[in-house]
Amino acid sequence: MKQKVIVFGGTFDPPHRAHTELPPQIAEQVGADKILYVIAALSPFKSQTPPTPAHHRLAMLRLATATIEQAEICEIELAREGPSFTIDTIEQLAQQYSSDVELRILIGADQAIAFHRWRDWQRIVELAPPLIMLRPPHTKKEVLDAIGTFVPKDDLAQWQSWILPLDMIDLSATELRDEQQRACLPLDSLLPTVRQYIEEHGLYNDQ
Ligand code: ATP
């Protein structure tokens, strides 16, 4: 059987419980040996709001993934100029790994419903078929309906099979960047080591 590698891209600004709890469950479900956390330099969809400097996000991601056995951090997007397009990353990884490795990209429901806006999305699907995590406020039906607007009808059953049976985690980095909201969220929304890093470096104080 082919070895499976999950490619999990994100801004991780900051990395939170959904980023750390869901991927290992998915690795178990699909029989993947590795979860590649690909840290974006600049998301093409978030260019209006520059992220926290990469060295801080990388340090937080290292802390967040320290105890995840299958996790490996991939910095190839930080080394590239300009916005981080997933297709460039997947093409690069497909060359790097041998053909007996099966790549799968992991995305949340918010990304799945907008997947047709990703550069060369059909090519991404060919090289690394998605795995999809449901995420509030989207129901499975809403996600499938949205996907049905841009994929051929015959492909829809396959996309449906890519939506994973997982308990949803209602969390986003956006709410964690807001100091007041962060104070109201459950303490375990962030790993204690990440929370401590944020406090020590005074991150997200002025938003
Ligand atoms: P932001 O609020 O800044 O948009 P985010 O919480 O979505 O950030 P990202 O680093 O952008 O975090 O997310 C990386 C990937 O993880 C994306 O595919 C996103 O859809 C997914 N993701 C993030 N939070 C969740 C969640 N609570 N449930 C499922 N998937 C999630």
Q: Ligand 1 pocket, 111 CB below 6 A?
A: yes
* Ligand 1 centroid, distance to 166 Cα (angstroms): 15
Q: Ligand 1 pocket, 86 CB below 6 A?
A: no
- What per-residue confidence (pLDDT) applies to 157? 97
- What per-residue confidence (pLDDT) applies to 48? 66
Written as tens digits, the pLDDT of the chain (207 aa) is 789 999 999 999 999 999 999 999 999 999 999 999 999 998 888 766 779 999 999 999 999 999 999 999 999 999 998 889 999 999 999 999 988 899 999 999 999 999 999 999 999 999 999 999 999 999 999 999 999 999 999 999 999 999 999 999 999 999 999 988 998 999 999 999 999 999 999 999 865
**Best residue among 8, 19, 115 to mutate for probing ligand 1, ranked by most atoms within 8 Å of CB:** 19
**Looking at ligand 1, which residue's alpha carbon is closest to its atom 20?**
108
Superfamily of domain 3-171: HUPs (3.40.50.620)
* Ligand 1 centroid, distance to 57 Cα (angstroms): 14
- What per-residue confidence (pLDDT) applies to 171? 96
- What per-residue confidence (pLDDT) applies to 70? 97
Closest CA relative to residue 11, chosen from 35, 46, 36: 46
- What per-residue confidence (pLDDT) applies to 75? 97
Please say whether the beta carbons of 166 and 186 come within 8 A: no
Q: Ligand 1 pocket, 92 CB below 6 A?
A: no
Q: Ligand 1 pocket, 133 CB below 6 A?
A: yes
Q: Ligand 1 pocket, 105 CB below 6 A?
A: no
Q: Give the C-alpha separation, 172 to 147, whole Å.
A: 22
Counting atoms of ligand 1 from 1, which one is nearest the CA of 174? 2
Counting atoms of ligand 1 from 1, which one is nearest the CA of 15? 10
Phi, psi torsion values for 146, nearest 5 degrees? -65, -45
Q: Ligand 1 pocket, 189 CB below 6 A?
A: no
**Looking at ligand 1, which residue's alpha carbon is closest to its atom 25?**
18
pTM reported for the whole predicted model? 0.96
For residues 87-108, b (16+ Cβ closer than 10 Å) or e, as one string? bbbbbebeeeeeeeebbbbbbb
pLDDT digits over 37-69, tens only? 999 998 888 766 779 999 999 999 999 999 999
Counting atoms of ligand 1 from 1, which one is nearest the CA of 170? 27
Q: How many CA atoms lie within 13 A of 198 on its CB side?
A: 24
Q: Is the peptide bond before 137 cis (omega within 30 degrees of 0)?
A: yes
Counting atoms of ligand 1 from 1, which one is nearest the CA of 11? 10
